[in-house]
Amino acid sequence: MLRQSCEPQMQTFVESGQLIRAFLPVGASRLGPLRARGPCRSGAPCRAKPEGALGGNTGGVADSAPDIEGMLRLLSGRADRREGARAGRVYLVGTGPGDPGLLTMRAVELMRLADVVLYDRLVSNDILQLVNPGARMVYVGKQRGFHTRTQDQIQELLEQFADSGSTVLRLKGGDPYVFGRGGEEVDFLREKGITVHCVPGITAASGIAAELGIPLTHRGVATSVRFLTGHSREGGQEELDETIAKSVDPKATLVVYMGLQTMPCLAAKLVEGGLDARTPSVAVRFSLEIVSSEDVCLLVFCRCCCSL
Amino acid sequence: MLRQSCEPQMQTFVESGQLIRAFLPVGASRLGPLRARGPCRSGAPCRAKPEGALGGNTGGVADSAPDIEGMLRLLSGRADRREGARAGRVYLVGTGPGDPGLLTMRAVELMRLADVVLYDRLVSNDILQLVNPGARMVYVGKQRGFHTRTQDQIQELLEQFADSGSTVLRLKGGDPYVFGRGGEEVDFLREKGITVHCVPGITAASGIAAELGIPLTHRGVATSVRFLTGHSREGGQEELDETIAKSVDPKATLVVYMGLQTMPCLAAKLVEGGLDARTPSVAVRFSLEIVSSEDVCLLVFCRCCCSL
C-alpha cells in the first residue's frame, strides 16, 4: 500500500507554519553516507597535498596567480616532452551528491588520468581523495559573497590548461547539466575549438530521493517531476513568481534546488497558486561543513513517499 | 556564446512537420558508448550462462516456474549453511542509460555481492557481464504486449528470494525512482518487513543531455527542467492533456520519457498550449536492439544546446 501521507519528519509546511528543515545526516543508510566523511574545517574541501603538486585548499590557489603560471609552465613542458605531444582536452564530470559510492565508473577512471583538476566547493573530500596524487589541484569554488574565481576566470583557466596539452578535469557536484553551469563551460570551450566531454553525475534530487524513499515519479500519483532553482538570479522576484505559477501541478513532484533563501516566499506562493497546502514536503540541507546551507538546501514537494 | 538554435539534427518539429527522430548511435563520443555493445538477437539481454547458474535470457526464466522453485531451494540451503544465517535484503539499483561507464561504484560493488539478480529489459548486456558469475539471473523484463512477469509477480519474487536469505539485486535501467516503479517495489517490500535499499542511477535525461550537449538547465534560458511520461496509463488522454497544459513553460526544458507513441498528439498540444513552435527538439531512441522504440524514445524540448 502506497503511503500518500509521509513520515513525521516530512510534515507539511502548513502544520508547522513553514517547511520543515530536516537537517538530516544525509546518508545514514547502510549503503554508506551521502555526505563526506571527516569534513574539513577550511572554507573548501581539503586533501593531503600530493607531493610535488599544488594543494586543493582555498589558500592553495584562490590568491596565488603565480602558482597557476608555474603549473602552466610545468604542464606545457611535460606535454612537449611527450612523444607526439597532443592538444589537451577537458572533461566536465559530475560527482553526484558527495558519496564516492555514487560516482560513476567513468568519473573514477578520469580522476586517475587527469593532469589538472579544477573542483567546486560541493565536491567532497572523499571524492578528492580518489584523484591521482600527481594531479595539480585547483579549487575554484563559489559561495555567496566569496568567489575564489568568477565564471569567466574559471573558463579561461580551463582554456589555458587545455592549451598546455593537459587532460583537464572539471569536477562538479551533482550533474554538470542540472544547475551546474556545465552548458556555459562546454559552449565556451567548444567555441575555442577545445575538445570537451561531459560526464553526467547523480543529481541531488535522485540522491536524496533514494536516501529518503521518495519516488520522484509514481504511477497514478506523480506522473512527472520538476527541478527548479529557488535561487533567482536575473529576473528576480518576477521571474520566480512566473516559475512558481508554472510549478503548481497536483500530479508532479517538485524539487527546488538552492531554495532555502526563497523558501518562505516560495511556499506561500505555491499555496496561493493552488498547491494543496497539505502537500508533504521536506527540506534537506547537505550536512557538509564546507557548504553553506543556502546553496545546497533541497526542497522536495512530493506526492508520495515510501516508509522509511 | 550560447546557441539557442540547435544543430541540424535537432531541427524543430515545425520545420519538419513532426519531431525529428534522431536515431542516434547513442554514445558515439570518445568517452565510450551509452549503448550496449554487441546487442543480442533475443527478446532480452543475453549473457553467458555462468556455470551452475540459470541464464538471463527470456526463455531462461519467463516460462520456467520450476527453475524458480529450484533456485529458492538452493539459495535457502546455502543461507542456512552460512554461519549465523541472516535474513535476505533487497537492493533496487539503477544502472543508468546502458553504458557500464555510467554505472555507480555502488552498483558495481553490489553486482559483485549479489546471490540473485532480477533484471529488466533495459539493463544492457555489458552491464550484466559485470554481475558475479555465481549469481542466479532472473529476467523479468516488461514490454508492450509481452510481460514475462507482472509487477505483482516481480514483487512476490523479490519477497521470496529475500526470505530465502539471499542478497537480491533488482537491476533497473536508468534511475529506480524516475519512471522506474521503484516506489512500488520499495513500498511493497518494506510493508513485508524486508530490508530494502535504493541506489540511484543516471536517468536517461542526464545521459542523453551529456551525450548531445543539451544543458537541462542554463542560466537565464532554462531555469527549470521537467521530466514527464508520454505514456499515460490510468487517466488516458484526459490526464495527458492536463499534464501537457502544465508543461508549457518558456523557461523550462521538457523531457518526455516513453513518448514516441503519443509524440504527434503531444507536440501539437504543446503548441496549442502556447509552446513556441520554434522550440528546438530532438527525439532519441536508444539503439539497443533489445528495446522497442516506443518504450525508450526520449523527447527533449530544449531551450538551448551546446555545439556538438
pLDDT band at residue A208, thresholds of 50, 70 and 90? confident
Q: Is the pLDDT of residue B36 over 90?
A: no
Q: Report whether A64 contacts A169 (CB < 8 A).
A: no
What's the pLDDT at B62? 36
Subunit contact B201:A202, Cβ cutoff 8 A: yes
Interface test with A, best of B129, B214, B225, B257 (most A CBs within 10 A): B225
Q: Determine contact: A193 vs chain B, CB below 8 A.
A: no
Minimum CA–CA partner of A215 in chain B: B177
Identify which has the larger pLDDT, A17 or B86. B86
Q: Which residues from chain A sit within 8 angstroms of residue B184, using beta carbons?
A: 2, 218-219
Subunit contact A228:B229, Cβ cutoff 8 A: no
Q: Determine contact: B108 vs chain A, CB below 8 A.
A: yes
Residues 6+ apart with CB under 8 A from A306: A2, A3, A213, A214, A215, B183, B186, B187, B190
N-terminal to C-terminal alpha carbon distance within chain A: 14
Q: Which of residues 232-261 of B touch A (CB under 8 A)?
A: 232-234, 239, 242-243, 246-247, 249, 251-252
Q: What is the pLDDT of residues B182-236, one digit of tens each?
A: 999 999 999 999 999 999 999 999 998 898 888 999 888 888 899 988 776 545 6
DSSP letter assigned to residue A179 = S
Q: Determine contact: B307 vs chain A, CB below 8 A.
A: yes
Q: Report whether A126 contacts A98 (CB < 8 A).
A: yes
Most confident region among A292-296, A304-308, B71-75, B203-207 by mean pLDDT: B203-207
Q: Which of residues 16-35 of B touch A (CB under 8 A)?
A: 29-32
Most confident region among A72-76, B146-150, B251-255 by mean pLDDT: B251-255
A13 to chain B, closest Cα gap in Å: 23
* Distance, C-alpha B260 to centroid of its chain: 15
Look at residues B256, B244, B247 and name the one whose alpha carbon lies nearest to residue B204.
B256
pLDDT band at residue B29, thresholds of 50, 70 and 90? very low
Region of poorest pLDDT, from A44-48, B174-178, B292-296: A44-48
Subunit contact A209:B215, Cβ cutoff 8 A: no
**DSSP reduced 3-state for B159:** helix
From the list B2, B178, B206, which residue is nearest A175 (CB)?
B206
Minimum CA–CA partner of B210 in chain A: A198
- Radius of gyration of chain A measured on its C-alpha atoms: 21
Q: Report whether B107 contacts B199 (CB < 8 A).
A: yes
Q: What is the pLDDT of residues A219-269, one digit of tens each?
A: 888 888 999 887 765 456 666 677 777 778 888 889 888 876 777 777 788
- Average pLDDT of the residues of chain B: 71
Q: What is the pLDDT of residues B297-308, one digit of tens each?
A: 566 766 555 543
Interface test with A, best of B1, B7, B104 (most A CBs within 10 A): B104
pLDDT band at residue B129, thresholds of 50, 70 and 90? very high
Q: What is the pTM of this model?
A: 0.78
Q: What is the pLDDT of residues A54-67, one digit of tens each?
A: 223 333 333 344 37
Q: Is the pLDDT of residue B18 over 90?
A: no
Q: Is the pLDDT of residue B134 over 50?
A: yes
Name the grid cell of A6.
509521509
Q: What is the pLDDT of residues A86-102, one digit of tens each?
A: 579 999 999 998 889 99
Interface test with B, best of A4, A208, A226 (most B CBs within 10 A): A226
Subunit contact B200:A210, Cβ cutoff 8 A: yes
What's the pLDDT at A302? 65
What's the pLDDT at A305? 53
Q: Please give the average per-residue pLDDT across A285-293, as a whole number.
A: 45
